[in-house]
Amino acid sequence: MFRLSNIAMVLGTLFLMSSGGCGFINTASEITFGAESFPAMSQEMNYPSVDQLVGLDGEGEIPGLPSSLNQGTMAHLVGALGVGGECGKSLDLDQGELGASVIAAEFMLAACTEDARCSDLCPDDFLGLNARTKLEMILMQAKQAKEIGSLLPEGSEDAIVQIRFQIKALDFFQGEGSNREITNDHIKDFRMYLGTPGVEPILFLGPKDLKLIRESALAAEESDSKEKRFERYELPREHPVTQKIISDILEGNDVVISVEQGFKINRESLYDLRLSPAGVYQSLQPEVVINAIEATTSGLSGN
C-alpha cells in the first residue's frame, strides 16, 4: 500500500524509467490505493424490531398476539404479518447509527406463506422469509478522488485498471456481547449487488462467497502472520458500475455506491432466529489499482 503523498514521487520515477525503455518495470508498475488512503466501509446494520415492522409500537394491537413481539422470533414476525393481512414491509432505517458515510439505509422483507396473494414476493413457491437490505454510502469523498485524479495526466483514464474490494467480514448475527451468534448457516440464496446512482447494479457475490468470506476471516483471526489475507473481489473493468466509479474519481466527485444484500430464511429456521437484536455486519475495504506505466506513457504520448 502507498500513501497518496508518496505516489507522485513513484510516478515521477517510473516516468523517467519508462522513457528510458526499461521494460522490466512493467511487472512492478501497479500501485494500490487502499487502507492507508481511505477507510474501510464497516457497518453493523441492526434489523428493525418486530414491533416496528408489524405496527405494534404503541399505536395498535393485532388480535390474538401479545402487545409486544420484541423478543419474538422471525416465525412470530411472519405470523404477525399474515394475521395483519400483509405480505411484505419496507422501512427506512436511521442511517445516523451506521456512520457518517451512509446516505440512506433500507430494510425490506416478505413473509412467504401459503397465501397466494404473496406469490409475487415469494418466487418458486418458497416458504419462509424473503429479505433485502440496502445501504447507499460514500465510497470515496471528493477530496480523496481529486487527490488520485491529480496524479494522473489528462486523458489517462485507462491508468485506473482495477476497482476491487478486500472483504474482511460479512456476517449475519443475533444477540449482543458475549451472547452474539453468527447465523450465516441459516442464510439461503445470498446475493450481494453493487450499484452507483443511475446505473443498474451488478451481481457481486453469491451464496458460496458468504461461506468463503467467513472461513477466510476466521483463518485470518487465528493466523500469527503479520500480513493477514482476506478475500478480494474485483469489479469487471468495463461494467457500467465500474466505469461510473472511475469517471467520478477522475472528475473529483464524491464516489457513491449502493450495497444491496438479498437473502432467504427457510421456514424451518424461523424459530431459531430473532429479529432483535440481530442484523448484518460487513467490512469492505475499497482498493483502486493504478498502472503507473500507463499513467506515465499517457503523459508522454499526449493521449
Is 7 exposed, middle or buried (CB count within 10 Å of its CB: 0-12, 13-18, 19+)? buried
Listed in sequence order, the DSSP H helices in 169-281 are: 207-222, 240-251
For residues 151 and 127, give the distance between their C-alpha atoms in angstroms, rounded to a whole number: 53
Q: Mean pLDDT across the stretch 252-281?
A: 92
Handedness of CA 62, 65, 68, 70 (dihedral sign): negative
Q: Does 37 have pLDDT greater than 70?
A: yes
Number of other CB atoms surrounding residue 139 within 10 Å: 24
Confidence class for position 69, pLDDT limits 50, 70, 90: low
Q: What is the pLDDT of residues 174-203, one digit of tens each?
A: 998 889 999 999 999 999 999 999 999 999
Q: Does 267 have pLDDT greater than 50?
A: yes
Which pLDDT score is estimated for 27?
Answer: 44
Q: Does 297 have pLDDT greater than 60?
A: no
Residues of the chain with pLDDT > 70, as a percent, come to: 77
Question: In 3D, which of 249, 213, 219, 215 has the Cα closest to residue 233?
Answer: 213
CA gyration radius, the chain = 23
Q: Mean pLDDT across the stretch 267-280?
A: 89
Question: In 3D, which of 137, 164, 136, 140 has the Cα closest to residue 250?
Answer: 140
Which pLDDT score is estimated for 28?
Answer: 53
Q: What is the largest CA-CA distance in the chain?
A: 82
What are the beta bridge partners of residue 131?
109, 263
Q: Given the C-alpha cell 478480494, which residue does it identify?
A: 232
Q: Which grid cell sits at 257?
A: 455506491
For residues 37 and 57, give the distance between their C-alpha atoms in angstroms, rounded to a whole number: 44
- Global pTM? 0.82
